[in-house]
Amino acid sequence: MGIFWDLLQQDELEKQKSQAETLEDRVTQLEAQLQNTKAILKKTLVALETHLSQDIDGDGKMGE
């Protein structure tokens, strides 16, 4: 019985390790997507402030 218990525990540890690696990959991917989204949002804000000649984000500058 002891050998079966060890096999089950080893299998469970492998599953958890795989899930953790997958989760880390997903977090890395989401962080990259967030950076891209922020860059696009900043470009959009600059273009909109320039077009409207208004300080939309309240930083005291237009188009920056």
**Residue spans per domain, the chain:** 23-64
| Buried b / exposed e along 8-41 (16+ C-beta atoms within 10 A) | eeeeeeeeeeeeeeeeeeeeeeeeeeeeeeeeee
> Along the 64 residues of the chain, how does pLDDT read in single tens digits?
677 778 888 888 888 888 778 888 889 888 999 999 999 999 999 999 999 999 988 888 887 7
pTM for this one?
0.63
